[in-house]
Amino acid sequence: MSTELVKGQKADLTKGNPTINNIIVGMGWKTPNTSIEVDFSAFLLTVESKVTKDEDLIFYGNPTGPNNSIQVINLSSLSEDNTQVSVSLRDIPSQYERISFALTIYEGEKRKQNFSMLDDCYIRIIDTVSRKEQLHFNIGNSFSVETAIVVGELYRYNGEWKFNPIGSGYSGGLEALCTSYGVDISQEIHQEQETPKIRDQSTPAPSFPPSINLSKIELKKKGDVINLQKGSGPIGEVLVNLNWNRGKSSSFFASKGIDLDLGCLFELKDGRKGAIQALGDSFGSLNRVPFVALDGDDRTGAVTSGENLRINGKHVSDIKRIVVYAFIYEGVTKWSDADGVVTIKQNGGPDIEVKLDQHDNRKGMCAIAMIRNVNDQTFSIERLVEYFSGHEELDRAYNWDLNWVAGSK
């Protein structure tokens, strides 16, 4: 039976249930104003209630904590929570004494939005083995101008884990919240995005590098997944950009530089499948089926804008999945010299970056990212970076079942 908590009522989690280890922390809220965007974050904190490094801030751009001890969960449409994270208590490194869970309103001050506009905010803890709710805290609605809330904390006490329902609000949004945990927020004047970086609190030791940037998210490991940001309206056009370094010949007789081509496999909800790429002059269409188009073909890698695929987000409900790939059409197969990077740009959200920083120079084709339909509302982006000898091998790996013939451009 779940225990209902009130603000400040600390509760044992593991002392009376020593077998519990894997839990889900779920949070939810309601609002009639669909323009309000609520973001989740969690802070891994030391005994001084401070972060130790950039990656101690867990959010949609950094979804996994150390030892996979905490991970943001991609929710299905059936979930009753608005956001969830999984926590493996035994895997949390010993230097962390507590995990603080928070909600913030995106651009709350700028949009004149705050937590008084939300109802039925709560946090709950579920045992993943029994699937039973253990603790539940209704935050209530006693807020006025606050744009950030520390909802609750998991913390160690005498070798056990306890939960503290807090429900404390801050004005100033993410900036005020991060500052309290030792994270500076520097405003990017041109991009108007918040960029957390660790504050240098020692003298003369240097500060940690600012690797977490809310204006750009890097998918670093195979299988990393993130959803494109979903606002109150359609997601709009999604731009997939490929850039790389061609390299320079060492002599007049040296071989040509790398010609790296961008393309994709697409599958629509009605079952139609195909490929879009410069090879074979299959450039697609943005406003007609398949609602994906390739801008052109950069034969040199010297074009500043690189090569671009465009996805019509207004037709997200028509698109089932897309595999973005690159292949070396001409030049030496040496991915390690190409420094390839794919950047996925979205309206009103951070850029998503996938670097081709893992190489297999024996194979000339790389599957870079899988784009999938999420509840007909947005797309998820998954890092692949997997190498193949050619189109047919990539096709078989992702079960597209197309017929391939040799082509040229």
For residues 254 and 312, what is the distance between their CA atoms, to the nearest angstrom? 41
For residues 101 and 151, what is the distance between their CA atoms, to the nearest angstrom? 6
Token pair of 207, please?
């500060």
Cis peptide before 234 (omega within 30 of 0): no
Q: From the CB of residue 153, how many other CB atoms can be counted at a distance below 10 Å? A: 21
* Phi and psi angles of residue 322, each rounded to the nearest 5 degrees, phi first: -145, 135
Tokens 């039925």 locate to: 120
Same fold, 3-214 and 225-397: yes
CATH of segment(s) 225-397: 2.60.60.30
- Map out the domains of the chain as residue ranges: 3-214, 225-397
* Phi and psi angles of residue 127, each rounded to the nearest 5 degrees, phi first: -80, 120
Query: Are residues 179 and 49 in contact, defined by beta-carbon separation less than 8 angstroms?
Result: no
For residues 168 and 49, what is the distance between their CA atoms, to the nearest angstrom? 15
CATH of segment(s) 3-214: 2.60.60.30
Tokens 């945990």 locate to: 181
Tens-binned pLDDT, residue by residue, of the chain (409 aa)? 789 998 888 999 999 888 899 999 999 988 888 888 888 889 999 988 888 887 788 887 788 889 999 999 877 666 789 999 999 999 999 999 999 999 988 888 888 888 888 888 899 999 999 889 999 999 877 777 788 888 999 999 999 999 999 888 777 777 777 777 876 554 432 233 333 443 333 333 323 333 344 557 788 888 887 777 655 456 789 999 998 876 554 433 334 556 788 999 999 999 999 999 988 888 999 999 999 999 865 444 444 567 899 999 999 999 999 999 998 866 556 788 778 899 998 876 778 889 998 888 889 899 999 999 988 888 888 899 999 999 999 999 999 999 987 755 5
Long-range own/partner contacts, residues 287-290 (CB < 8 A, 24 or more apart):
287/312, 289/318, 290/266, 290/319
